[in-house]
Amino acid sequence: MRPPEFWKDKDQIESRDAAVVLRALLTPVSWAYAAVAAHRMRTTISRHVPAPVICIGNLTVGGAGKTPISRAIRARLGPNAHTLSRGYGGRAVGPLRVTPDMEAIEVGDEPLLHARDGAAWVSRDRYAGALAAVQAGAHVILMDDGFQNPSLAKDLCIVAVDPAYGVGNGQVFPAGPLRERLRDGLARADAIVMLHNTWSADIPEHPDWLADFAKPILQASVSPIGEAPSGPLIAFAGLARPEKFFDTLEAVGAKVEDMVPFSDHHPYSEDDMRLLAQMAEQRGAQLITTEKDAARLSPAWRARVAVLPVAARFADEAALDALLAPIQSRITALHGEA
């Protein structure tokens, strides 16, 4: 789904009258949603597995950059790090070990990206998935999402935040984008990663809603890997905020003739792709999308679409190493190495 306009911070909303009315109508529902979420977190017994668990989560509905952060952290943890995801958008219940040759309709798009980096699992039961990973040799488990899922005990919780969006209007779903009350989420977070799309002096490093957060706040940015293709491009993306991809293309100097947004995790049909291909042909352009979107294309279309991979780069890598040090020490104590 695309975030509705009234979820944004009040300074970003174009039609404030409509936003006030919609938020008022949905506020009682959001109170109930927040109460249910809090009750679940309070009453569910979290179960431990015999390996450290790191969770990369977020406070809001939609993308905040969890997957690139997860991949960047995984690269520092050694070859015996396994990634665990719910497999959103896929049919598999799991636990299922993901291989790069699987399709997104089966396991979801993000797990396919993780499978390119090494061992990756999908499981709707996070505890069962973590246990399967440990039995298969995982020395550490990295959860992509699951911050609001209390079934699996976590040793380190890192919350991803898109600084350009923040926490929106600060309200809980459906009156706003928050998955739970802000104070509850921040109380469980061990660190925040502000993942900038591009560095900007206009974005405050520490927004007001983080004024009382006394734990580490790390800064990172999304950086393209390589260069965009030369010549005119038609860009398309099915993300929570597809404009982030479009901004990245423009930041690297790509010649973008048109931009086509789709909803998050959009399942591309043949009709979708034919229309995009026709648009590109009329403009004498090439189609380009994200790695995550490419995972949802059929093999035939994947071969015809350019991809701009990105990676999360941390401004202070020493701060990240310090955050991960207790996990690394535990891995070394258990196994002698990661």
Is 118 marked as binding a ligand?
A: no
Look at the block and give the residue holding tokens 């995801």.
85
The residues facing 114 across adjacent strands are: none
Is 66 marked as binding a ligand?
A: yes
Strand order in the sheet with 53-58: 96-98, 120-122, 81-85, 140-144, 53-58, 156-161, 191-196, 217-224, 310-314
Is 161 marked as binding a ligand?
A: no
Is 62 marked as binding a ligand?
A: yes
The residues facing 274 across adjacent strands are: none
Is 215 marked as binding a ligand?
A: no
**Region of residue 172 (left: phi > 0; alpha: psi -120 to 50; beta: else):** beta
Query: Does residue 197 contact residue 164 with C-beta atoms inside 8 Å?
Result: yes
Query: Does residue 262 contact residue 236 with C-beta atoms inside 8 Å?
Result: yes
User: How many whole angstroms from its chain centre is CA 207?
Assistant: 20
Is 260 marked as binding a ligand?
A: no
Structure tokens at 309: 């991979």
User: To 5 degrees, how large is the angle CA 331–CA 334–CA 337?
Assistant: 50
Query: Can you say whether the dihedral through the CA atoms of 330, 147, 183, 164 is positive or negative?
Result: positive
Closest CA to 7 of 162, 176, 163, 167: 176
Q: Which strand (E) or helix (H) includes residue 32?
A: helix 16-43
Half-sphere exposure of 193 (CA within 13 A, CB side): 32
User: How many whole angstroms from its chain centre is CA 166?
Assistant: 14
What are the CA-CA distances from residue 179 to residues 24, 34, 98, 113 (Å)?
18, 8, 27, 25
Binding-site residues for ATP, in ranges, read: 60-67
Binding-site residues, in ranges, read: 60-67
